[in-house]
């Protein structure tokens, strides 16, 4: 199969909103020529196109694209996911969980790849946005019970000083392939990134408390598209994609 023709076909389908068709074309390549051929094609697809496919993750089926995307490809996709106006973060959490916790994955490799990019800590803060108080409790006490945490937030210096504290919970106790396990890995295996993410998360929480919520931020960003369209496969980010990818 002509890889260049397949790349063009895939991009055309994505631009037309046919995400299922685009994924099927990529799967057909893997079936015909093997996973290595698909990996070659994925390396040549722009991050926005990989994102368009992997963010539509369906946990009722296994996606060969999600299984083969590399940490660097995934990181580039994660940092531009904010271009979608998904205020619920549902797609972000779904694709992060499906790829970072896939059977053969090394979560730390994926997290480090995200942390190495501008916007990586912000993307991770968005992932944890619904769990801010419990992430703060975890940073302070080593557990996720926000009701038991009545102390002040630890300063960045205090967080660094406690970086090598012995875990209160083992990873097995929080192995949910979801936000708790990801927070555990970040704190104990990617400590600097955890602290950086928490600082961003605090800033977002403060902005929200001050009345600058995500909807107002979204209205100010003309480069985003409505999630209602993207969830139905009708649109992908386009207004700022060249600037975003050049920055990456």
6 occurs within a structural domain: no
CB 77 within 8 A of CB 47: yes
> 197-209: per-residue pLDDT in tens?
999 999 988 887 6
Name the DSSP class of 125.
H
30 occurs within a structural domain: no
Buried (b) or exposed (e) across 36-61, using 16+ Cβ within 10 A?
A: ebbeebbeebbbbbbbbbbbbbeeee
Number of folded domains in the chain?
1
96 occurs within a structural domain: yes
pLDDT value of position 3: 87
178 occurs within a structural domain: yes
CA distances from 20 to 68, 201, 230 (A): 17, 34, 12
Sequence-ordered list of residues with C-beta below 8 angstroms from that of 233, at least 6 positions apart, any chain: 17, 18, 19, 20, 56
pLDDT of 65 higher than 80: yes
- Compute the average pLDDT of residues 121-150: 89
> 6-33: per-residue pLDDT in tens?
999 999 999 999 999 999 999 999 999 9
pTM of the full predicted structure? Answer: 0.81
40 occurs within a structural domain: no
Q: What is the mean pLDDT of the chain?
A: 84
pLDDT value of position 83: 92
92 occurs within a structural domain: yes
**Residue 136 belongs to what domain range?**
63-247
55 occurs within a structural domain: no
> 38-47: per-residue pLDDT in tens?
999 999 999 9
pLDDT of 216 higher than 90: no
> In the beta sheet, which residues pair with residue 226?
85
Percent of the chain with pLDDT strictly greater than 90: 63
39 occurs within a structural domain: no
First to last CA, the chain: 30
Rounded Cα distance between 42 and 14, Å, is 14
């Amino acid at each position: 199969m002509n890889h260049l023709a397949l790349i063009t076909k895939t991009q055309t389908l994505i631009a037309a909103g046919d995400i299922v068709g685009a994924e099927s074309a990529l799967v057909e390549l893997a079936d015909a020529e093997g996973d290595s051929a698909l990996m070659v094609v994925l390396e040549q697809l722009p991050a926005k196109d990989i994102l368009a496919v992997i963010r539509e993750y369906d946990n009722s089926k296994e996606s060969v694209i999600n299984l083969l995307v590399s940490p660097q490809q995934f990181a580039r996709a994660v940092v531009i996911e904010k271009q979608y106006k998904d205020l619920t973060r549902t797609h972000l959490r779904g694709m992060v969980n499906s790829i970072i916790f896939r059977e053969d994955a090394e979560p730390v490799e994926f997290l480090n790849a995200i942390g190495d990019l501008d916007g990586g800590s912000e993307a991770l803060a968005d992932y944890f946005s619904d769990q801010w108080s419990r992430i703060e409790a975890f940073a302070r006490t080593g557990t996720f019970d926000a009701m038991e945490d009545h102390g002040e937030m630890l300063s960045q210096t205090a967080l660094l000083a406690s970086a090598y504290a012995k875990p209160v919970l083992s990873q097995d106790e929080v192995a949910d392939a979801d936000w708790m396990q990801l927070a555990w890995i970040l704190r104990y295996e990617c400590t600097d990134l955890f602290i950086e993410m928490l600082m961003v998360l605090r800033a977002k929480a403060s902005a929200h408390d001050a009345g600058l919520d995500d909807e107002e931020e979204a209205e100010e960003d003309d480069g985003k598209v409505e999630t209602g369209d993207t969830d139905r496969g009708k649109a992908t980010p386009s207004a700022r994609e060249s600037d975003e990818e050049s920055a990456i």
